[in-house]
A and B are shown apart, each in its own frame.
Chain A
Amino acid sequence: MDDLLTEFLTETNESIDTVDNELVRLEQNPNDKAVLDNIFRLVHTIKGTCGFLGLPRLESVAHSAENVLGKFRDGELFVTPGLVSQILEALDTIKMILQGLEQTGNEPEGDDSDLIARLDLAAEGKFEDAAPVAAPEPAPVVADSRAETEKLLGRSLKPGEVTLDELEAAFAAAAGPEEVEAAAPLAPAAKAEPKKARVEAKPAAAPVEARDGEDGGAKGNQSIRVSVDLLEGLMNLVSELVLTRNQLLQIARRNENSEFSVPLQRLSQCTTELQEGVMKTRMQPIGNAWSKLPRIIRDLSHELDKKIELEMKGADTELDRQVLELIKDPLTHMVRNSADHGIEMPAERVAKGKSETGHVRLNAYHEGGHIIIEIADDGRGLNVDRLRQKIVEVGLVSEAEAEGMSDNQIHKFIFHPGLSTAEKVTSVSGRGVGMDVVRSNIEKIGGTIELDSVAGKGTRFAIKIPLTLAIVSALIVESGGERFAVPQISVLELVRAAPGSEYRIEFVNNAPVLRLRSRLLPLVHLHRILGLEPKTANDNDEAFIVVTQVGSFTFGIVVDEVFDTEEIVVKPVAPILKNLSVYSGNTILGDGSVIMILDPNGVANATATVQHNQQEDSQEVRARSLENEHESMLLFRAGSENPKAVPLSLVARLEDIDVSTIEFADGKPMVQYRGSLMPLVTVDDKCQLVTEGRQAVLVFADGDKTMGLAVDQILDIVETELKIELSSESNGRLGTAVVAGKVTEIMDVGHYLKLAFKDYLRAKPQELNAANAQQPRVLLIDDSSFFRNMLKPLLAAGGYDVTSVSSAEEALALREEGEVFDLIISDIEMPGLNGFEFAAEVRGQGRWADTPLVALSSLASGADFEKGRAAGFNDYVAKFDRDSLLSILDEQLELTRTAA
């Protein structure tokens, strides 16, 4: 193919994409003169160049389209969706011809007289808007069949390749014999036009130059077109150069004072700059991947009869071309999904009190070495019930399991292959191939995808991907005698652990953990995941811990040895090894050996599934705990032989305090802890602090207040259903329960907080309302997990059946679900709906209108009290005042009973 034609094709393809988008804009603002002029100029240029190159078919289509556009411009025709569809159809035909050109160098055979006739009719103003209904646009079908074909092929179509459907569409678009006859009278006109156009052709070339001039400034053209292959080639060379440089540096390091060292430094410097430069050429604004979306949304909204607005932010955010290519299709797919499944029909939206027009928002921005792309819609959200039903149908989980799963866990299943919740399969989506492909595509490039969906409010996806794939900084580690590279980007820090040092690996029921600042970090031994022989027999010998973050999950990878970091060129692993998810690639190190690059994602999946789930579950528990779910209990011994327990979620930290640092003030023991004083309390008076050595302490924290509970020994952490059998009369104990087969005292953390901070709390002696025959149901709403966790056992011990949620919105959702409670305790200060608003909402309508409401707050002023009453609260109690809380609950329930 000659150069001129190649140049033409590239340029025209770009123009066409622009015209596509501009047309959609024009349709929205029919009076935008600037947009119209731009479209007209682009189409005109295409036409002109066609004539110049001798492409009659292309030229005649472009010409007819231009005619219509000309009428728009001259104000002789109004811009209507029907007319725009006609022009878009013409553009699709142009695209098809261009593809044929690219493939063969010649215009494909075909007859566009039908289209041209319609366009000409339109130009004469005889076109009616009803027409496009009879002759549907081929575009969406084509786009879709393309995706379908690509799926079949298992690769994307090369430029110029045409799918079967596209061919069929082309044939359909071409007029049959009868139509030719019908169009015959018009044909001479079409034939006559090219001649005229050819005359225009030469002047038409001028605007192209002029436009380039505008872009490049007065000095003329400042940019050149370079083929992607050339750039890729350069990039590969630079990659090799980096590797060789690394090798040289390694050699130079061994031979100090070599005369090579200075030039080598220079070479190294240049290589780095060259690498950066070439990387920059690969950077492209993400808007390039979005350029087709306005058209897709426009076509979709027409096809589906929805009103959809696409908002795009951060289109100029740059990322690597290769990454861009890889996320293009997933993005398109997701936007389509949002428009098709997410956004409701206009009538449905209005009925729900939303604006008629649905919104799909795209947002891209940089964060660290990553780029974040968000795709959000304000549609109906994921249908959890349907999904739940579906995953059971498909047999992914059992019914019972599905019931026990939280909404969030259910949401994740949309990434499973073969699941689609669309009620019917549309031409757009709903075939159940999609989100799994999206996820695997994103994960393939080291990205993650998160999902957030609220029923009725919409769905939001966040994709996090690395800026570039080619060269990354990696940490070289050794485990089981083999070396591995860990991408630096997912490494948070390195910790050296050894027996007797500040950091050491501890075990909770054989699961290795590390105390790292205020948290327990789950650990995995790399050699275990990889099935390698450990270096030493003992797991808790000296080791290095690579603290790694995957999404929101932080864990430590235990390795034997940590070497330096190296710039590595990521090369994909051989297809035979592709299914090993623990590797993201391999590379050649400075010393010439090959090293496998670990994929922290894969490592987390391979081993930490259990921990991950547990972490998620605990988040779930905090977010919403219905029914008698399992609680993690921390077992310890203090004073007596039988174990005691507190909910693990209440424990901020476990500490081991040197007894000599314990000081006494006002006769009470305390330690200096993190810059402030932490009072120490014992389980009861009989219990003493140890006199020498180290004292084990459970640290409880609430806001800035911390309190240490001295214990003799920390025993274990167990998951158990918390069922308090006997309520206790003695202070500091909620009651007794059977935990891990042993009679265990459940401690009341609130009591110790009171002991430690006398001024903070008021104590009123009040008898516990022991086991009520019929347990009243209490709903507890508090955004602070600390209070929920503290009050829940307390209320349970008081004989209430407690359901706790973290927000007023969740509580209202329960109301919608038809839950009934005898009493509701609500916090006042909450994000989202606050307590007052919540009370007003509850009192206003619904089945809870008569349920007693008790406000719970740390703000206990008279004004607040009055405000609470006005909002509909029956009573008000200060946080921490457990006794008055219980008495108020009793009182309120008594009131309702007598009223009933």
Chain B
Amino acid sequence: MSLQSNEFVTIRLAGQLLGIPVLLVHDVLKLQNVTRVPLSPGWVAGVLNLRGRIVTAIDLRNRLGLPPRGANEKAPMSVVVDHKGEPYSLLIDSVGEVLRLDDTLYEKNPVTLDARWREVSNGIYRLQDELLVVLDVRRLLDMDQALAA
């Protein structure tokens, strides 16, 4: 791991703190105007226009097997990442800050972690108050695996 790769954008999803390597994040935006794509897998929330680029929106809650967002919860935010040259927008509940984390805080995935999480998690950082799960964006968006999920 190079030095920069342990800088993370923290996001929150159903109460859980997650981190995405900061270099992968292109944009953070309020979700607007998502066009639904009928027949697509449940975790594809739709497609949207980001400054002339068509971005596929991924419902991260659905992808990770979390309960859907309640009706009276806040409108979701979105983090735009690139995967194999294609932009994807990850729908999340809220965005936190950019954290630089020390390698000594890093732990491998606990064996008890749910299989669906283990598959997309790159390990865990022990923060003071809580744990941060590092999202492996590559595996999260890898089509074959995603389709199998």
Closest chain-B Cβ to A322's Cβ sits at a distance in Å of 17
Complex Cα distance A118/B33, Å?
A: 70
User: Contact between A594 and B35 (Cβ–Cβ < 8 Å)?
Assistant: yes
Are A531 and B40 in contact, with the CB atoms below 8 A? no
Of the candidate stretches A4-12, A381-389, A447-455, A585-593, the one touching chain B is A585-593
**A580-B40, A594-B47 are known contacts. Are A574 and B35 too (CB-CB below 8 A)?**
no
Output the residue of B37, B84, B143 with the most chain A CB within 10 A: B37
Q: How many chain A residues have a CB neighbour from B under 8 Å?
A: 28
Q: In chain A, residues 566-592, which have Cβ atoms closer than 8 Å to a Cβ of chain B?
A: 571, 573-580, 582-583, 586-588, 592
The CA of A578 and the CA of B84, in the complex, are separated in Å by 14
Q: Using CB atoms, name the residue of chain A closest to B46.
A: A594
Contact status A576-B146, CB under 8 Å: yes
Asked whether B38 lies within 8 Å of A243 as measured between CB atoms, the reply is no
Interface residues of B in 80-106 (CB under 8 A from A): 84, 86, 88
Q: B36 on the interface (CB 8 Å rule)?
A: yes
The answer to whether B54 touches A594 (Cβ under 8 A) is yes
Q: How far is the CA of A592 from the CA of B51 in the complex (A)?
A: 9
Q: A593-B35, A594-B48, A596-B35 are in contact. Are A576 and B54 (CB under 8 A)?
A: no
For chain A, residues 514 to 559, give those with C-beta under 8 angstroms from any C-beta of chain B. 529-532
| A531/B47 contact (C-beta < 8 A), A574-B86, A594-B54 known | no
A240 lies within 8 A of chain B by Cβ = yes
A410 interface hit (Cβ, 8 Å): no
What CA separation (Å) do A571 and B49 show in the bound complex?
12
CB pairs A–B below 8 angstroms (24 shown): A240-B52, A482-B38, A530-B38, A571-B54, A575-B84, A576-B56, A576-B141, A577-B40, A577-B56, A578-B143, A579-B147, A580-B39, A580-B40, A588-B52, A592-B33, A593-B33, A593-B35, A594-B33, A594-B46, A594-B47, A594-B48, A596-B35, A596-B37, A596-B47
Instruction: Give bound CA distance, A615 to B39, whole Å.
Output: 27
Interface assignment of B44: CB less than 8 Å from any CB of chain A: yes
In the bound assembly, the distance between CA atoms of A386 and B44 in angstroms comes to: 44
Bitwise interface map of B from 31 to 69 toward A, beta carbon under 8 Å scored 1, else 0: 001011111110010111100101010000000000000
In the complex, which residues of chain B have a beta carbon less than 8 angstroms from the beta carbon of A588?
A: 49, 52, 54
Q: Which of A483, A582, A588 has the most CB of B within 10 A?
A: A588
**B contact residues around A240 at 8 Å (CB):** 52
Q: Chain A interface (Cβ within 8 Å of chain B)?
A: 240, 243, 480, 482-483, 529-532, 571, 573-580, 582-583, 586-588, 592-596
Chain A residues near B39 (CB, 8 Å)? 529-531, 580, 582
Q: Which residues of B contact A587 (CB under 8 A)?
A: 54
CA distance A587 to B88 in the complex (A): 16
Interface residues of B in 134-148 (CB under 8 A from A): 141, 143, 146-147
Tell me how many residue pairs across A and B have CB atoms closer than 8 Å.
67
Cα A579 to Cα B39 with chains together (Å): 10
Interchain CB contact under 8 A, A243 and B52: yes
* Minimal Cβ-Cβ distance residue in A for B52: A240
State the interface size on chain B (CB cutoff 8 A). Answer: 23
| Closest chain B residue, CB of each to CB of A596 | B37
Choose among A530, A532, A583, A594 the residue that contacts B49 (Cβ–Cβ < 8 A).
A594
**Chain B residues whose C-beta falls within 8 Å of the C-beta of A576 in the assembled complex:** 40-41, 44, 56, 88, 141, 143, 146-147
A576, B145: Cα distance in complex, Å: 10
A237 to chain B: closest CB distance in Å?
11
Given A243-B52, A594-B48, CB of A532 within 8 Å of CB of B86: no
Which 7 A-B residue pairs are closest in the complex by CB-CB distance?
A530-B38, A574-B56, A594-B35, A594-B47, A594-B49, A588-B49, A574-B86
Contact A593 B49 (CB under 8 A): yes
Tell me whether A532 and B143 are in contact (CB under 8 A).
no
- Check B38–A574 contact: CB distance below 8 A: no
Bound state CA distance, A531 and B42, in angstroms? 12
User: CA A853 – CA B141 in complex, angstroms?
Assistant: 71
Which of B54, B56, B86, B146 has the most C-beta atoms of chain A within 10 angstroms of its own C-beta? B54
Q: Which residue of B lies closest to A595 (CB)?
A: B35
**Smallest CB-CB separation from A239: which chain B residue?**
B52
Compute how far the CA of A583 lies from the CA of B48 in the bound complex, rounded to whole angstroms: 16
- A596 CA to B40 CA, complexed, in Å: 12
What's the nearest-Cβ distance from chain A to residue B49, in Å? 5
Q: Chain A contacts of B54 at CB under 8 A?
A: 571, 574, 586-588, 594
Smallest distance from the beta carbon of B84 to chain A beta carbons, Å?
A: 7
Complex Cα spacing A362 to B148, Å: 43
CA distance A577 to B88 in the complex (A): 12
- How far apart sit A596 and B38, CA to CA, in the bound complex (Å)? 9
Instruction: List the A side residues contacting B35 at CB < 8 Å.
Output: 482-483, 586, 593-596
Residue of A nearest to B38 (CB): A530
Q: Complex Cα distance A483/B38, Å?
A: 11
Residues in B neighbouring A531, C-beta threshold 8 A: 38-39
Beyond A574-B86, A583-B37, A596-B38: 19 further Cβ-contacts under 8 Å? A240-B52, A529-B39, A530-B38, A530-B39, A574-B56, A574-B88, A576-B41, A576-B146, A577-B37, A578-B143, A580-B40, A587-B54, A588-B49, A593-B33, A594-B33, A594-B46, A594-B47, A594-B49, A596-B35
Q: Which residue of B lies closest to A531 (CB)?
A: B38
In whole Å, how far is A574's beta carbon from the nearest beta carbon of chain B?
A: 4
CA distance A483 to B88 in the complex (A): 21
Closest to A483 in B: B35
Q: Kindly list chain B residues whose C-beta atoms are within 8 Å of the C-beta of A574.
A: 47, 54, 56, 86, 88
- Give the docked Cα–Cα distance between A790 and B108 (Å): 78
Kindly state the separation between the CA atoms of A575 and B47 in the bound complex, as whole angstroms.
13
Q: Given the complex, which residues of B lie within 8 Å of A594, measured CB to CB?
A: 33, 35, 46-49, 54
Minimum CB distance partner of A587 in chain B: B54
Measured between alpha carbons, how far is A586 from B38 in the docked complex, in Å? 13
Shortest distance in angstroms between B82's beta carbon and chain A's nearest beta carbon? 12
**Closest residue on chain B to residue A579 by CB atoms:** B147
A583 to B54, CA, bound (A): 15
CB-CB under 8 A from B86, the residues of chain A are 574-575
Within the assembled complex, what's the spacing in Å between the Cα atoms of A483 and B41?
Answer: 19
Once bound together, how far apart are the Cα atoms of A240 and B38, in whole Å?
A: 26
